[in-house]
Amino acid sequence: MEGRIVGCSFAVLRAKRRANWKAVAGGAPWIQQGMRHTFCSNWLAAHGDVNKLVLLSGHDSTDVMWRCYHRGTKKAEAERFWSIMPPRSGAQNIIEYRQKA
Protein backbone atom coordinates (compact mmCIF):
# COMPACT_ATOMS: atom_id res chain seq x y z
CA MET A 1 0.00 0.00 0.00
CA GLU A 2 1.18 3.50 -0.73
CA GLY A 3 0.15 7.02 0.04
CA ARG A 4 -0.93 8.95 3.06
CA ILE A 5 -2.97 7.40 5.80
CA VAL A 6 -4.45 10.81 6.55
CA GLY A 7 -5.41 13.04 3.67
CA CYS A 8 -3.64 16.08 5.16
CA SER A 9 -0.15 17.39 4.63
CA PHE A 10 2.32 17.61 7.51
CA ALA A 11 1.82 21.39 7.70
CA VAL A 12 -1.97 21.02 8.00
CA LEU A 13 -1.61 18.36 10.72
CA ARG A 14 0.84 20.57 12.62
CA ALA A 15 -1.59 23.51 12.46
CA LYS A 16 -4.45 21.31 13.70
CA ARG A 17 -2.31 19.96 16.54
CA ARG A 18 -1.32 23.47 17.64
CA ALA A 19 -4.95 24.58 17.53
CA ASN A 20 -5.88 21.58 19.72
CA TRP A 21 -3.14 22.46 22.22
CA LYS A 22 -4.37 26.04 22.46
CA ALA A 23 -7.97 24.92 22.92
CA VAL A 24 -7.07 22.44 25.68
CA ALA A 25 -4.66 24.75 27.48
CA GLY A 26 -7.06 27.69 27.34
CA GLY A 27 -4.42 29.89 25.78
CA ALA A 28 -1.73 29.00 28.34
CA PRO A 29 1.62 27.95 26.88
CA TRP A 30 1.78 24.22 26.20
CA ILE A 31 4.92 22.50 27.44
CA GLN A 32 6.19 20.05 24.84
CA GLN A 33 6.43 16.56 26.34
CA GLY A 34 5.21 18.00 29.66
CA MET A 35 3.09 14.99 30.59
CA ARG A 36 5.94 12.57 29.84
CA HIS A 37 8.41 14.68 31.86
CA THR A 38 5.95 14.90 34.75
CA PHE A 39 5.42 11.14 34.74
CA CYS A 40 9.13 10.35 34.60
CA SER A 41 10.18 12.88 37.26
CA ASN A 42 7.49 11.78 39.69
CA TRP A 43 7.91 8.07 39.02
CA LEU A 44 11.68 8.18 39.57
CA ALA A 45 11.29 10.24 42.75
CA ALA A 46 8.71 7.82 44.14
CA HIS A 47 10.35 4.54 43.12
CA GLY A 48 14.04 5.28 42.49
CA ASP A 49 14.50 2.52 39.88
CA VAL A 50 15.85 4.17 36.74
CA ASN A 51 16.09 0.82 34.89
CA LYS A 52 12.38 0.13 35.29
CA LEU A 53 11.58 3.73 34.34
CA VAL A 54 13.49 3.25 31.07
CA LEU A 55 11.31 0.20 30.32
CA LEU A 56 8.08 1.99 31.30
CA SER A 57 8.82 5.09 29.24
CA GLY A 58 10.15 3.35 26.13
CA HIS A 59 13.43 5.20 26.37
CA ASP A 60 16.71 3.48 25.58
CA SER A 61 19.29 5.19 27.81
CA THR A 62 19.50 4.92 31.56
CA ASP A 63 22.16 7.64 31.59
CA VAL A 64 19.92 10.16 29.85
CA MET A 65 16.96 9.25 32.05
CA TRP A 66 19.04 9.65 35.20
CA ARG A 67 20.50 13.01 34.14
CA CYS A 68 17.10 14.39 33.07
CA TYR A 69 14.89 13.15 35.91
CA HIS A 70 17.07 12.47 38.98
CA ARG A 71 16.13 15.09 41.58
CA GLY A 72 13.52 16.51 39.21
CA THR A 73 11.09 16.54 42.10
CA LYS A 74 11.16 15.61 45.77
CA LYS A 75 9.86 12.27 47.03
CA ALA A 76 7.12 13.87 49.16
CA GLU A 77 5.89 15.88 46.17
CA ALA A 78 5.93 12.75 43.99
CA GLU A 79 3.89 10.82 46.57
CA ARG A 80 1.32 13.63 46.59
CA PHE A 81 1.24 13.50 42.77
CA TRP A 82 0.60 9.73 42.71
CA SER A 83 -2.13 10.05 45.34
CA ILE A 84 -4.29 12.26 43.08
CA MET A 85 -7.58 10.47 42.47
CA PRO A 86 -10.82 11.53 40.80
CA PRO A 87 -13.81 12.24 43.03
CA ARG A 88 -15.67 9.13 44.17
CA SER A 89 -19.04 10.38 43.00
CA GLY A 90 -20.69 13.11 41.05
CA ALA A 91 -18.43 12.96 38.01
CA GLN A 92 -20.32 11.93 34.89
CA ASN A 93 -17.25 11.18 32.76
CA ILE A 94 -15.48 8.68 35.03
CA ILE A 95 -15.77 4.95 34.36
CA GLU A 96 -14.71 2.66 37.20
CA TYR A 97 -13.04 -0.63 36.34
CA ARG A 98 -13.92 -3.71 38.32
CA GLN A 99 -10.35 -5.02 38.49
CA LYS A 100 -6.93 -3.44 38.34
CA ALA A 101 -4.91 -3.56 35.13
Note the Cα 6 to chain centre separation in Å: 25
- What are the pLDDT digits (tens) for 55-90? 999 888 999 999 999 988 999 999 999 999 877 766
- What are the pLDDT digits (tens) for 33-48? 888 899 999 999 999 9
The pTM is what? 0.62
- 54 — pLDDT class (breaks 50, 70, 90): very high
Cα dihedral sign, 58-62-64-65: positive
User: Which residue type sits at 54?
Assistant: V
Predicted pLDDT of residue 4: 66
- 101 — pLDDT class (breaks 50, 70, 90): low
